[in-house]
Structure 1
Amino acid sequence: MAQIILVHHARGLTDGVRALAEQIAAGGHTVHTPDLYDGRVFDTDDAGLAHLEALGDEFLARGIAAAAEHRSASVIAGIGAGLRPAFKAAQTVPAFRACIGVSAALPLNAYAPLWMPHVALQLHLASRDRHVIDAALPLARSYAATAEKPDNPADLFEYDTDAHLFMDTTDPGYDPALTETLVRRIHELLA
């Protein structure tokens, strides 16, 4: 079974992120949830994003340090802003075999000239999410459009909701059915 690092979103390591980790772990996997905010959790996206901005490059550095701390992990995942350190680790640490992005997408060459060919990429985006609709969703769709090409490792799954954090039990947009689908798809990747 897989060892996974799950990097939290801009609001911090919420109980909802922990609950998602437990659901993934229920498939027989070990899920590590590093706290890149040193215990701070924010009630709103704006407050979390302000804290993230104040941290600057430190957030990315903490995420890479967490990836280095869990050397046995072969999968790294990030929710929202947490995809930034997950992507960087997936592109620069040879041990990772998969990267899972939830509620975010980045260019395949964000941190390296080319995506690592041995790293599978799975993206999960809400199709009406205001945070992703203008940039991340079209980018992810462009990956899906070229999925038949051997140099494209990406699979995109879209969810019919406008809730950015539909998988976080602490968010008003939490959707248990969509979360169950998301977890099932992650388990299929890990199998």
Structure 2
Amino acid sequence: MATVVLLHSALGLTRHVHDWADALRGDGHRVETPDMFGGETFHDLDTAVAFADGEGGPPAFTRPVIAQVRDIDGPVIYAGFSLGACVAQLLAMRREHAAGAVLMSGLVAPDWLDGEAWPDGLPAQLHRAAGDDWVSDEEAAALLAFTDGACEEFVYPGDGHLFGFEGWPEYDDDASHRMFERVSDFLGELD
């Protein structure tokens, strides 16, 4: 059983994240879903991103996550969607007990990291839609080079940003299920 900290997108801690957490728990994993926004949720991405940016962007949200998961012992896999993927990446890079990272529809480009290095041997996955305007091919390539082979990339057809959120307008059933299977397999390997 892997311990996973699953972080929400800029939409907030919506049912989509709870659905993913429940499915991962069904595979036998311990999953924590910290609320980075203190209960605030949004129904459109532009408003959500404006809120997150106004709060300071991904670095500002590492502190509330750390506060909410400080009692977790042992290795942790940090995972997240969009904004949550960015926060997961930062935590996986900076927290001693990090055992892996799963970045879904988001990443922090290496040129934003002020010279930080990817931790030796830290495995990661990057999942993104081929035409997602929020995650460019160049940023993905830079992350893969930055991790020196530690990150495996999965690119799905389409241009939906939150394609893994059932019920969201960009939802892609096939891509979402394939992403879940790959994430679940990855967690099983780290267990």
- Give the TM-score normalised by the residue count of structure 2: 0.86
Would you say 1:152 and 2:149 are equivalent positions? yes
Unpaired runs of 5+ residues, structure 1, are: none
1:49-64 → structure 2 map (5 Å cutoff): 49-56=49-56, 58-64=60-66
Distance 2:53 2:142 in 1: 28
Runs of 4 or more off by more than 6 Å in structure 1?
A: none
**Post-superposition offset of 1:73:** 4.9
Structure 2 residue identity aligned to 1:4: V
Distance 1:40 1:17 in 2: 14
Comparing 40-49 with 16-25, greater Cα deviation is found at 16-25
Instruction: Choose which of 116, 125, 136 in structure 2 pairs with 1:113.
Output: 116
1:1-191 → structure 2 map (5 Å cutoff): 1-56=1-56, 58-108=60-110, 110=113, 113-133=116-136, 137-144=137-144, 151-191=148-188
Unpaired runs of 5+ residues, structure 2, are: none
Distance 1:143 1:130 in 2: 16
SS at match of 1:157: strand
**Post-superposition offset of 1:185:** 0.4
Cα deviations by residue, 1:139-172 (Å, 9 ceiling, x for unpaired) = 223455x59xx94201000010111001112411
Distance 1:112 1:187 in 2: 31
Tell me the percent identity. Answer: 27
Distance 2:115 2:4 in 1: 22
Q: Is the 8 A contact 2:104 2:128 kept in 1?
A: yes
Structure 2 residue identity aligned to 1:93: R
Comparing 81-90 with 40-49, greater Cα deviation is found at 81-90
**Post-superposition offset of 1:70:** 3.0
Structure 2 residue identity aligned to 1:171: W
SS at match of 2:65: helix
Structure 2 residue identity aligned to 1:85: V
Q: Residues 126 and 106 (structure 1 numbering): CA distance in 2 closer, same or farther, change over 3 Å?
A: same
Root-mean-square deviation over aligned CA pairs: 2.2
Distance 1:52 1:71 in 2: 29
Q: Residues 48 and 185 (structure 1 numbering): CA distance in 2 closer, same or farther, change over 3 Å?
A: same
